[in-house]
Amino acid sequence: MVGREEAIAVFDVGTTGVRALLFNLEGSILGGAYEEYPTISEHPGQSEQVPDVWWEASCRTIQSALKNAHVSPSDVVAVSVCTQRATIFPVDKSGRPLYRALTWMDTRMSPSAKKLKKVIGQRESLNKVLWIKDNVPSVFEQTFKFLFVDSYFYFKLAGVFVSDLSNAFYGPFDVEKLSWNEKLADEVGVPLDKWVEVYPSGKVVGEVTVEAARETQLKAGTPVVVGGGDQQCSCVGVGAVRHGIVKVTTGTGTFVDALIDKPIYDPFGILFTLPHVLEGKWVVEGVIPGTGSILRWFRDNFGHLEKKVAEDVGVDAYSILEDEAETVSPGSDGLLVIPLFNFGKGAIYNLSFAHSRRHIIRAIMECNGFGIRGLLDIISGMGIAVEELRIDGGGARSKLWRQIQADVTGKRISVPCIEEAGALGAAILASKGVKLFPSVEKAVESMVKISEVREPRHENKRVYDEMHPVFMKLLLSSYSEITGQSQN
């Protein structure tokens, strides 16, 4: 008779789709499924999604995951979530959505939000709540609670209105006291009774209800454990749970996160200080917008041949672009890409007749490395140790990109075996929550494994050392045009 293998179920609710995954206690994926859902963008700045579509897709994917993993629902010992952050929407007392969810990408701002911009700061969900209050006041009046993505899943799974610290930050939250800020809530005109209860990640907040069991095929009574926001969960999922290890996620954009023991703040205002999913800890986080999306833009607009070849031979078009970039020497013969495409300030600098399309491909990949190095310099300047980078995201699949990141930053790069680091992080938090491990750190030792380590090539780093100041000067000059601030 085959022994029972305990599994942890995770809903990884992203911007473009949901992935349901089942992990064992060694951190291996037993099974999973993915389903995309649409984003509604009919007007300038609008980015909305339908919460019930998230749930319906999640039910289908967890059923598929259970089936293809050959896992019995009775073997699932805990359920948790890892979610996109800052997305929010209103519900009534029964948990029924009263309006579509305004995603983190929604840039609309009401007059109220503009007036309170300095007060709100980085709490992006407040901008969206004020947009609802100003534009659909009847909905605001009917609202029982405003839910983040994780809150919605805890309600659908266990019937509770809760969130974790890493998601609650985007509401009227005190990042130092790690609790709701009543004064801020009153100042923005959204009282605290419209916000959910906040719990630390790894806390059991309920059990799968009979109704949720019917919809998901999970077993009623399975513990539901608080997970967290995607980037903080990824820190845990790559094993960046001690000082000196910094998590770097390269996807549509690039996120750099470092562990800190108490809130400290970047004097330049470039890094964010956020609550961690590790109890009593915080992260400093820097973002390079649009790095992965620039390579996608190049592929879609200038990579028609690669896409055709990829379809014909059954390979990824990105791997063909990578092969082309690898024929170019480090530094792309002086070519630099400034990755501010999101703001209409993207640039290709130093372009000459000596350059070809393959130089541009490599320069796009290198701008990611330069951006990471710039953020690491700020992090180091704040007194935070940076010894090793743990990387995840789509960019981590590329051998060339991994080496470029090592060469530009001069840091060791470690690549975890599991690509779905955010989901693994939520599984680790859940495993500790149901006492399968005595601590998150012990769970990481068992569940996070490294597949590859890359060291910087010093001859390449010398080239990048010369180019980095030029890149930063161009980047900061463009950034000052966007913000209207002088960068000295």
367-425: per-residue pLDDT in tens?
999 999 999 999 999 999 999 999 999 999 999 999 999 999 999 999 999 999 999 99
Distance, in Å, from the CA atom of 421 to the CA atom of 425, rounded to the nearest integer, reads: 6
Q: Per-residue pLDDT for 234 more than 70?
A: yes
Residue 102 and residue 48 in contact, taking contact as beta carbons nearer than 8 Å: yes
pLDDT classification of 1: cutoffs 50, 70, 90: very low
With the C-alpha atoms ordered 264, 270, 274, 280, is the resulting torsion angle positive or negative?
negative
Distance CA 102, CA 437 (A): 37
What pLDDT does 479 receive?
A: 82
* Residue, of 4 and 212, whose pLDDT is higher: 212
452-463 mean pLDDT: 98
Q: How far is CA 96 from the centre of its chain?
A: 26
Percent of the chain with pLDDT over 90: 92
- Give me the pLDDT at residue 488, please: 46
DSSP annotation of 97 reads B
**pLDDT score recorded for residue 3:** 54
Q: What is the pLDDT of residue 48?
A: 98
The mean pLDDT of the chain is 96
Average pLDDT estimate for 234-259: 97
Structure letter (DSSP) for residue 21: E
- pTM of structure: 0.95
Judge contact between 275 and 309, C-beta under 8 A: no
d(CA 281, CA 275): 7
Report the amino acid identity of residue 424: L
pLDDT at residue 2 is higher than 60? no
Determine the pLDDT at residue 271: 97
Banded pLDDT at 297 (limits 50, 70, 90): very high
Question: Which domains, and CATH codes, for the chain?
Answer: 7-226 (3.30.420.40), 240-488 (3.30.420.40)
- Render pLDDT for 146-188 as a digit per residue (tens, 0 to 9): 999 999 999 999 999 999 999 999 999 999 999 999 999 999 9
Give me the pLDDT at residue 448, please: 99
Give yes or no for a contact between 249 and 392, defined as CB atoms under 8 angstroms apart.
yes
Structure tokens at 354: 């000596």
